[in-house]
Amino acid sequence: MIKVKNLSYTYSDGTQALKNISVSFPEEHIFAVMGLSGSGKTTLLNCIARFLEPQSGKIFWNDMNIRAIKERDFRTLLGVVFQNLNLFPHLTVLENMTLAPCRLQGRSGNVVKKQAVEMLERLKIPELADNYPAQVSGGQAQRVAIARGLMLKPKVMLLDEPTSALDVKITREFARWLRELKSDTSFIIVTHDLPFAEKAAKNGIFIENGQIRNSGQISEILPQIKGQ
């Protein structure tokens, strides 16, 4: 479980993006961090992912400060899929998926390739194995990016605005697909897409001006947000 306690972060220009945030992310769940642009939700994701170091407060992984975990071990525990996906354009889908397990974890190339093929089959996109990122749709690329992250077998995966490039129909399918994957890993989704959050997750928080304004079941949060 990830626990955030009294977290605050201020950028160099004086903008206070997070103000004394405390929240716990349960295991084996899809948890939504909701908010409008500039609310601080992506800053929270970057602090959890250790890309930003907060000025005050701490983040714990099962009662251990995440700053005390070795970098290589931490990157195995936690995966991140950014909004722009960061797929390597010069590598095929299969090569994108096998690179990190082989390079970072030293796993056998043949074994990893077999696992990658099985993953693509499970996600119903085996025909994309030899395609390059430029040859797949936005929804397919999103699946590939998550499949690549799952190849490292993380305990938690952070998704930054995963539906930003998807149409309404693909967004619905993507929410259903995530629910099918929550037995493999826990997801923390950062999103401004409230209907998607409602379809994908049961619990979450709504951040506004760097503070948690609402928390709990999303079905209860959304009416409160609309009423504010």
CATH of the domain at 174: 3.40.50.300
* 125 domain residue, yes or no: no
Question: Which pLDDT does position 228 carry in this prediction?
Answer: 58
User: What are the tens digits of pLDDT across the range 140-178?
Assistant: 888 888 888 888 888 999 999 888 767 777 788 888 888
Backbone angles phi, psi at 25, to 5 degrees: -110, 110
Question: What are the strands, taking DSSP E only, across the chain?
Answer: 2-10, 16-25, 30-34, 56-61, 64-65, 78-81, 156-160, 186-191, 203-208, 211-217
Model pLDDT, residue 227: 59
Question: Does some domain include residue 144?
Answer: no
Number of domains in the chain: 1
Q: What is the mean pLDDT of residues 28-57?
A: 93
Strand 156-160 and strand 186-191: pairing? parallel
Domain that holds residue 217: 2-86+155-227
> What kind and span of H or E run contains 68?
none
Q: Let me know if residue 111 belongs to a domain.
A: no
User: 3-state class of 216 per DSSP?
Assistant: strand
